[in-house]
Structure 1
Amino acid sequence: MKINYLTQGLVKKNYICSLFGHQYVEIKTVNAHFKEFECKNCRMQATNDSVGQKIKLTSELKDINETLFYLYLKRQFLAKFYFEKKEQ
């Protein structure tokens, strides 16, 4: 008797990722260099490191990304409203 594990639901979502790799979708752009990603299958979250490789998103890295995001927004706001170049 041949058993089809896929149709019986014995293969879970994380097994699909271990066989075929994660399918990341970008969920948040922190700034021009850092982004947050989430796997479509297993919902694992990842982010870029300083080299550009994806690493697992921990609570510490999530706090760092939030701080970078707010600093990036603050810099954009200041550049737009307070330091505009005057035309001569």
Structure 2
Amino acid sequence: METNYTTDGMVKKNYRCSLLGHRFVETKKVNNHFSEFECKTCKMQVTNDMRGEKITLTSKLKDINETLFYLNLKKQFLSKFYFRKD
């Protein structure tokens, strides 16, 4: 009996990413240290952790990144308008 390896799951749907690696593009800059990325090929979303390594983006991490983004906006707004050093 001849086995077809493509149907046995040896080659995944996103074979390009599994063979050559992901092609990440930055989709959102949270602040100076954190960003969100998305693979151009398989649309996998990742973010970087405290060490700078990329980890998959879960709903919890997405909420944390959103909170950090708004805190950073608030900090920039306050420093620009309320604490001017003219």
TM-score, normalised relative to structure 1: 0.82
Structure in which a larger fraction of residues adopt helix: 1
Deviations for 1:12-69, whole angstroms, at most 9, x for unmatched residues? 3x22111111000000000000000000000000001000000000000000000000
C-alpha distance in 1 between matches for 2:62 and 2:18: 24
Structure 1 pair 42–75 and aligned structure 2 pair: CA distance change class (3 A):
same
The answer (yes or no) to whether the contact 2:28–2:35 under 8 Å persists in 1 is yes
* Structure 2 unaligned blocks of 5 or more: 1-5
C-alpha distance in 1 between matches for 2:48 and 2:63: 14
Displacement of 1:85 after TM fit?
1.1
Number of residue pairs matched by the alignment: 77
* Structure 1 unaligned blocks of 5 or more: none
Query: Considering only aligned residues, what root-mean-square deviation do their CA atoms show, in Å?
Result: 1.6
Residue aligning to 1:63: 63
Within a 5 Å distance, the mapping from 1:1-88 to structure 2 comes to 12=13, 14-86=14-86
SS in structure 2 opposite 1:31?
A: coil
TM-score, normalised relative to structure 2: 0.84
Give 4+ residue runs of structure 1 displaced > 4 Å after superposition: none
